[in-house]
Amino acid sequence: MKRQNLHCHTTYDDGADSPEMMIFAAMKAGLSGLGISLHCPLKGEEDWTCASADELRFIDEMHRLRELFAGHLDIWCGLEYDMDAGRRSVPPYDYIIGSCHLLSGIPLDNDPETAAQLIAYHGGETKAAQLYYERLSAMAAMPEISIVGHFDLPTKFDERVGLYNTASPAYREAAFAAMEKLNAAGKIFEINSGAISRGWRTTPYPSEELLRHLSALGGRVCISSDAHAAAHIDCAFDQCEALARACGFRELWHFNGTDFAPVAL
């Protein structure tokens, strides 16, 4: 199976490397396709999102690179949309990943201290988790979003500093309900190794329990690295594939330029 990665970042947002560096890394890793997914412009969050003024420049650059590398690597221009951006018309991206990085303007995944403040602000980990999954599940009504980004992002720091009780009935109920709603809306869930490359987790998002639930629902998955540096372009893909198989998935959903199609795993 040829691999592809539809989720990574560059110097157009909070990535460390240029699009060319990510493309070279993808070719070296033997990927057949690479989608660079821009962090959607978001007012007040310019330190990690793309400046509005640069968005069209990014799209033009991606189209230039697609032509330049044609025949060597399929290159796509993606968007990592954030739920805080609100509904709006978006420029012509090839596909859209939908993510939720903030609750009440507080980042979920910056560092454990901020994550703990977010929980305190929202009245405890159960309420924070419920709010997060409710917010995420609103993407079910957004047909332009194809992929759910890092589904259980709030758990990013749990291996090191346990913040969420993912075994509690309330947490599981909230996560399962969001997963069921998003799956029923036809969303593809990414198995995302981004927190592995950043040293926070030893396993990808979503958790094995959630992936098993998704598999039982007949859900669809893809594998992505959410790389913020060229060195991480295919981080832990072996592990992600093994986990997908162990959870019962027999195929991954790959982008073909216009749509998603199953590829045997």
| 59: its two tokens | 């799209």
Give residues in contact with Zn ion (CB under 5 A): 80, 99, 226
Please enumerate in sequence order all residues whose Cβ is within 8 A of that of 176, keeping only pairs 6 or more positions apart, or say none. 210, 213
- Residue nearer to Zn ion on the CB measure, 61 or 226: 226
Taking the complex as a whole, the smallest distance from the CB of residue 158 to Zn ion amounts, in Å, to 17
Taking the complex as a whole, the smallest distance from the CB of residue 123 to Zn ion amounts, in Å, to 25
The three-class DSSP label of residue 66 is: helix
Taking the complex as a whole, the smallest distance from the CB of residue 100 to Zn ion amounts, in Å, to 9
Q: What is the distance between the alpha carbons of residues 61 and 36, in angstroms, rounded to a whole number?
A: 11
Q: What is the distance between the alpha carbons of residues 96 and 27, in angstroms, rounded to a whole number?
A: 23
Taking the complex as a whole, the smallest distance from the CB of residue 143 to Zn ion amounts, in Å, to 20
- Residue nearer to Zn ion on the CB measure, 62 or 126: 62
- Residue nearer to Zn ion on the CB measure, 101 or 126: 101
Q: Which residues share a beta bridge with 252?
A: 263
- Residue nearer to Zn ion on the CB measure, 17 or 80: 80
- Residue nearer to Zn ion on the CB measure, 126 or 149: 149
- Residue nearer to Zn ion on the CB measure, 80 or 94: 80
Taking the complex as a whole, the smallest distance from the CB of residue 150 to Zn ion amounts, in Å, to 6
* Per-residue 3-state assignment (H helix, E strand, C coil) for 169-231: HHHHHHHHHHHHHHHHCCCEEEEECHHHHCCCCCCCECCHHHHHHHHHCCCEEEEECCECCHH
Please tell me what DSSP assigns to residue 62: H
Among 18, 21, 15, 61, which residue's Cα sits nearest to residue 39?
Answer: 15
Taking the complex as a whole, the smallest distance from the CB of residue 153 to Zn ion amounts, in Å, to 7
